[in-house]
A = this chain, B = another copy of it.
Amino acid sequence: MYQNMGSRYLEQGTNKNDSLLIYLPEQLSPVMIRVGINGYGTIGRRVADAVSRQKDMEVSGVIKTKPDYVAMTASSKFKIFVPDRESIKKFQDKSLDVQGDLDDLVSASDIIIDCTPEGQGEKNIQIYRKHKKKAIFQGGESSSLAEVSFNAYANYDSASGKEYVRVVSCNTTGLARTLSTLRDHFGVSEASATLIRRATDPNDSKKGPINALEPDLHFPSHHGPDVMTVMDGISIETSAVKAPTTLMHLHSVTVKIKSETDLEHVLRAFESRRRLMIVSGKNGITSTAQVMDLARELGRERSDLYEIAIWRENVNLNGRKINYMQAVHQESDVVPENVDAVRAVFGLQEKEKSIELTDMALGIKEKVY
Contact = CB atoms under 8 A, between A and B. Distances in A.
Interface of A: 45, 66-70, 72-74, 94, 202-205, 211, 247, 279, 283-290, 292-294, 296-299, 301-303, 369
A117 to B, nearest CB: 16
Contacts of A203: 289-290, 292-293, 296
16 contacts: A66-B284, A68-B283, A69-B279, A69-B285, A69-B290, A72-B283, A73-B294, A73-B297, A74-B297, A94-B283, A202-B247, A203-B296, A205-B286, A205-B290, A299-B301, A302-B303
Contacts of A204: 289
B205 A297 contact: no
Contact of A69 (B68, B72, B284): B284
Q: Max chain B CB contacts within 10 Å: which of A94, A289, A292? A: A289
B70 A205 contact: no
A275 to B, nearest CB: 18
Copy total for this chain? 2
A50 to B, nearest CB: 14
A46 to B, nearest CB: 10
User: Which 8 residue pairs are nearest across A and B when measured between Cβ atoms?
Assistant: A68-B284, A203-B293, A73-B297, A205-B287, A205-B289, A296-B302, A303-B303, A69-B283
A186 to B, nearest CB: 29
Contacts of A299: 301-302
Nearest to A94: B283
A66 B290 CA distance: 15
A156 B248 CA distance: 42
Given A203-B289, A289-B205, A303-B302, A297 B369 contact: no
Contacts of A369: 69, 72
Contacts of A73: 294, 297-298
Given A284-B70, A289-B202, A369-B72, A45 B303 contact: no
Contacts of A72: 283, 369
Contacts of A202: 247, 289, 292-293
A301 to B, nearest CB: 7
